[in-house]
């Protein structure tokens, strides 16, 4: 079974984003965008705007977010936005969504910042609300956090977008995945932690009567790749190369392929990768030439 590999991009690229994607996107199955409005004073690109542009610019690509912040948009309005994106793209949209976490941007932009438990409870209501609007016309929904009445979300999607929930909080977030997600988006740290999170999700699935195997595991990994050890060391010293942080994979194409194949063997059915040297395209191209073929036969 071939493992689809998507290209994840950094929100701080902004003006450099599409020149990079024009050079790098072609070999990848899908494109994945962030959803931030600010952090640490950096310039960042707004997530829905760049996704809309990408759907038009790259007509062969599946597109989604890793992941939208539920708090930023009224979920009924988001259902309408998603339905429109699905219609105009011919069915290439994935609704990636999470509970949000970055307090700075909430407070700066005037959004309430309730506790994580409340934000996750809001997410747990938002997803069935969105699906109700995609399915029914007129649609009604009465929840603790959201209520709508007589909504016409037209055109409703002929092909329902997959709903991908991002996160790994064990008590509440993974229960939302078990209850509502078609796909689960998880940022890889190490094999042991991934296995533990899988087991927690299995327990939640058992509790809610869901088949764990129904949920597509989409694993996000940071990559720094070079031809050989000497080139890798030289690349790491370049000022434009970002630190990957916990869970990033650094190595030659063969080393990177081996580590990604191990993640696939653990249960990943999709991979999304971002590159520490972007928007320089060299690492992305090397990955496409040398690593993607190994994953194509996983």
Section 61-77 average pLDDT: 98
**Structural contact between residues 97 and 70, judged by C-beta atoms closer than 8 angstroms:** yes
How far is 283 from 287, CA to CA, in rounded Å?
6
pLDDT in tens, 100-110: 999 999 999 99
Which pLDDT band holds residue 297 (cuts at 50, 70, 90)? confident
Domain membership of residue 190 as a residue range: 5-295
For 180, the token pair is 């509502």
Q: Which of 241, 236, 232 is nearest to 279 (CA)?
A: 241
Beta strands in 84-200 (DSSP E): 93-98, 139-142, 147-151, 163-166, 183-187
Contacts of 239 (CB under 8 A, 6+ apart): none
pLDDT in tens, 33-46: 999 999 898 999 99
How far is 243 from 224, CA to CA, in rounded Å?
9
Which pLDDT band holds residue 245 (cuts at 50, 70, 90)? confident
How far is 180 from 163, CA to CA, in rounded Å?
8
Cα-Cα-Cα-Cα dihedral of 275, 276, 282, 283, to 10°?
A: -60
| CA–CA distances in Å: residue 98 to residues 14, 65, 127, 136, 163 | 22, 10, 10, 24, 10
Question: Checking DSSP bridges between strand 30-33 and strand 62-65, what pairing results, if any?
Answer: parallel
pLDDT confidence of residue 2:
82
pLDDT, averaged across the chain: 96
Section 179-202 average pLDDT: 98
For 72, the token pair is 């930023």
CATH classification of the domain holding 223: 3.20.20.30
Section 4-25 average pLDDT: 96
**DSSP-based three-state secondary structure for 101:** coil
**Structural contact between residues 232 and 254, judged by C-beta atoms closer than 8 angstroms:** no
**What total of structural domains would you count in the chain?**
1
How far is 195 from 163, CA to CA, in rounded Å?
22
Section 237-266 average pLDDT: 95
**DSSP-based three-state secondary structure for 227:** coil
Section 241-253 average pLDDT: 93
| CA–CA distances in Å: residue 206 to residues 179, 237, 268 | 10, 48, 20
Distance of CA 217 to the CA centre of its chain: 11
Section 284-291 average pLDDT: 98
Q: Which of 195, 208, 131, 207 is nearest to 168 (CA)?
A: 195
Contacts of 22 (CB under 8 A, 6+ apart): none
On the question of pLDDT at 176 being above 90, the answer is yes
Section 276-293 average pLDDT: 97
pLDDT confidence of residue 1:
52
| CA–CA distances in Å: residue 126 to residues 129, 188, 277 | 5, 26, 36
User: pLDDT over 90 for what percent of the chain?
Assistant: 95
| CA–CA distances in Å: residue 45 to residues 33, 36, 37, 194 | 9, 7, 7, 30
How far is 223 from 108, CA to CA, in rounded Å?
32
| CA–CA distances in Å: residue 159 to residues 185, 193, 218 | 21, 34, 20
Q: Give the position of tokens 């929904």.
A: 141
pLDDT in tens, 110-155: 999 999 999 999 999 999 999 999 999 999 999 999 999 999 999 9
């Amino acid at each position: 079974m071939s493992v689809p590999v998507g290209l994840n991009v950094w929100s701080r690229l902004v003006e450099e984003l599409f020149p990079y994607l024009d050079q790098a996107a072609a070999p990848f199955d899908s494109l994945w965008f962030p959803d931030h409005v600010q952090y640490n004073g950096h310039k960042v690109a707004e997530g829905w705007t760049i996704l809309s542009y990408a759907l038009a610019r790259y007509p062969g690509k599946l597109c989604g977010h890793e992941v939208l912040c539920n708090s930023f948009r009224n979920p009924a309005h988001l259902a309408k936005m998603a339905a429109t994106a699905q219609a105009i793209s011919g069915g290439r949209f994935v609704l990636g969504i999470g509970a949000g976490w970055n307090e700075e941007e909430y407070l700066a932009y005037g959004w309430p910042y309730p506790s994580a438990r409340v934000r996750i409870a809001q997410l747990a209501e938002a997803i069935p609300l969105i699906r109700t609007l995609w399915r029914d016309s007129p649609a009604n929904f009465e929840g603790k956090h959201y209520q709508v009445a007589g909504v016409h979300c037209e055109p409703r999607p002929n092909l329902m977008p997959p709903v991908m929930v991002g996160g790994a909080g064990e008590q509440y977030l993974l229960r939302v995945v078990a209850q509502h997600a078609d796909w689960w988006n998880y940022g890889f740290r190490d094999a042991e932690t991934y296995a533990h999170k899988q087991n927690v999700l299995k327990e939640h699935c058992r509790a809610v009567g869901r088949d764990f195997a129904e949920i597509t595991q989409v694993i996000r990994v940071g990559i720094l790749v070079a031809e050989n050890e000497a080139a890798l060391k030289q690349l790491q010293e370049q000022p434009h190369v970002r630190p990957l942080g916990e869970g990033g994979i650094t190595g030659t194409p063969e080393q990177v392929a081996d580590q990604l194949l191990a993640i696939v063997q653990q249960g990943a059915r999709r991979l999304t990768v971002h590159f520490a040297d972007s928007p320089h395209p060299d690492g992305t191209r090397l990955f496409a030439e040398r690593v993607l073929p190994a994953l194509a036969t996983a």
